[in-house]
Amino acid sequence: MAFELPDLPYAHDALAAGGMSAETLEFHHDLHHKAYVDNGNKLIAGTEWDGKSLEEIIVGTYDAKSVAQNGIFNNISQLWNHNEFWKMMGPTGRAMPSELEAAITDSFGSVDDFKTAFGAAGAGQFGSGWCWLVKNADGGLEVTKTENGVNPLCFGQTVLLGCDVWEHSYYIDFRNKRPVYLSNFLDNLVDWENVASRLAAA
């Protein structure tokens, strides 16, 4: 069964007050995300990956020895990344639940120190990619960054939060100011209740 483009969990203009315009979501979700869905479906049709879950395809097609990943991986991983990205943001959820705050403080020293590390990872990712808050197998939290469409599933980590630092995610609203986009993402766009629910389920 072919993968489908999921609807946004809110209206296209729902994040505008937080700094992500309806125009950005129209381009990013309706065009870029849809392209990953369409291309991914075409590439897996008739292959061993047809009928597998997104997660199975991502783990199964990732090549740790290669910088340039294959087309199936690139499109399916980006499909998954964006499915989760939209859910990690919202017009509500700005207050960080206490259990998440405690876990972040335990791993980073403070919420502010976490935000600094997250922003540095995103700003320091050369070219296109993502920055992440993940839970490792030992239970600790870590900030990471990945190139292009690579995500923490490739390394056995649980994704709690991710931010897209491809230019199409921020150029309409922030032009070339990626650090400002990242700071705004953390302060005005993240649904921390969603992040906390991922931690609780991990």
Q: What is the mean pLDDT of residues 15-22?
A: 98
pLDDT in tens, 56-90: 999 999 999 998 999 999 999 999 999 999 999 99
- SS3 annotation, the chain: CCCCCCCCCCCCCCCHHHCCCHHHHHHHHHHHHHHHHHHHHHHHCCCCCCCCCHHHHHHHHCCCCCCCCCHHHHHHHHHHHHHHHHHHECCCCCCCCHHHHHHHHHHHCCHHHHHHHHHHHHHHCCCCEEEEEEECCCCCEEEEEEECCCCHHHHCCEEEEEEECCHHHCHHHHCCCHHHHHHHHHHHHECHHHHHHHHHHC
Torsion of CA 198, 17, 22, 96, to 10 degrees: 0
pLDDT of residue 67: 86
pLDDT in tens, 151-173: 999 999 999 999 999 999 999 99
Q: Is the pTM of this model over 0.85?
A: yes
Backbone angles phi, psi at 145, to 5 degrees: -140, 150
pLDDT of residue 1: 78
pLDDT in tens, 109-143: 999 999 999 999 999 999 999 999 999 999 999 99
- For Cα atoms 184, 82, 115, give the angle at the middle one, nearest 5 degrees: 30
| Pair 185, 165: CB distance under 8 Å | no
Asked if pLDDT for residue 49 goes beyond 90, the answer is yes
- Residues in CB range of 193: below 8 A, 6 or more apart: 92, 93, 95, 97
pLDDT mean across residues, the chain: 98
